[in-house]
Amino acid sequence: MISPLAYIHPEAKIGDNVEIGPFVFVDKNVVIGNNNKIMPHATILDGSRIGNGNTIFPNAVIGAIPQDLKFRGEETTAEIGDNNVIRENVTINRGTAAKGRTVVGNNNLLMEGVHVAHDAIIGNGCIIGNATKMAGEIIIDDNAVISASVLMHQFCQVGGYVMIQGGSRVNKDIPPYITAGREPLVYSGINIIGLRRRGFSSETIEQIHNAYRIIYQGGLNISDALKKIEEEIEKTPEIEYILDFIRRSERGIIK
């Protein structure tokens, strides 16, 4: 299942039932798990670690060195989990000394032209739209949906179950369970449709909605809003996630 027109470095480790098309380049210091399909002209470079059951489309490049001037050739990795779909022209750079690795989790869809920069961490079950560009050390939590042509500033974090409008510029953190849109990017309500599709109960959705009413419509500063949420809303895992995310935010959350 490996085309004779592909180049596989003799030190690369290839699992079982892996399909590798013509003109694929697989470098040294690469590990590819089982049941992967790598289509023609894909490039898998030094430091790539690819799990099981992934589909990598033509002209994707995984493991290229970071586009970061502080990179000095240190040994780092680009780690891809299981069952991801990585479409045409996606680029996933490996890490720098900052974190040592770039990570894409499991069951993600990265559409055409997505860029994942050095030391970024993408969770599980995310959908990243065409031509979205993510700068270094961003974090995207599980089940986020980021539409096409979104530009993400370095160090930004996106919470789980978020929906971000296409064409947005993200320069602050986006807390979980919400939709974000307009220009400049602002809170646009909670992601009700996404939460229902993921099986959240009406009661849980209402609690999330009440928390964000306090944060965005209560006329309080963030510190007082979080305190009020703790006093008035039951501490479910979802509410604790919101509180913890906002308290950990270094760039501040969108308005």
d(CA 208, CA 48): 39
- Of the candidates 81, 123, 129, 136, the residue annotated as catalytic is 136
* CATH domain 7-137 topology: UDP N-Acetylglucosamine Acyltransferase; domain 1 (2.160.10)
Q: Which residue type sits at 217?
A: Q
b/e per residue, 126-149, with b = 16+ CB within 10 A? bebbbbbebbbbbbbbbbbbbbbe
Q: Would 7-137 and 195-248 be classified into the same CATH topology?
A: no
Determine which helix (DSSP H) or strand (DSSP E) holds 196, and give its type and residue range.
Answer: helix 192-197
Q: Does the annotation count 136 as an active-site position?
A: yes
Angle subtended by helix axes 222-232 and 237-248, to nearest 10: 160
- Of the candidates 81, 115, 118, 141, the residue annotated as catalytic is 118
Helices (H) and strands (E) in the chain, counts: 4, 27
Q: Does the annotation count 115 as an active-site position?
A: no
* CATH domain 195-248 topology: Udp N-acetylglucosamine O-acyltransferase; Domain 2 (1.20.1180)
- Of the candidates 119, 141, 160, 194, the residue annotated as catalytic is 119
- Reading the chain (255 residues) residue by residue, the pLDDT tens digits are 999 999 999 999 999 999 999 999 999 999 999 999 999 999 999 999 999 999 999 999 999 999 999 999 999 999 999 999 999 999 999 999 999 999 999 999 999 999 999 999 999 999 999 999 999 999 999 999 999 999 999 999 999 999 999 999 999 999 999 999 999 999 999 999 999 999 999 999 999 999 999 999 999 999 999 999 999 999 999 999 999 999 999 999 999
Alpha-carbon distances of 52 from 13, 94, 131, rounded to whole Å: 13, 19, 25
Q: Does the annotation count 142 as an active-site position?
A: no
- Give me the residue spans of the domains in the chain: 7-137, 195-248
- What is the pTM assigned to this prediction? 0.96
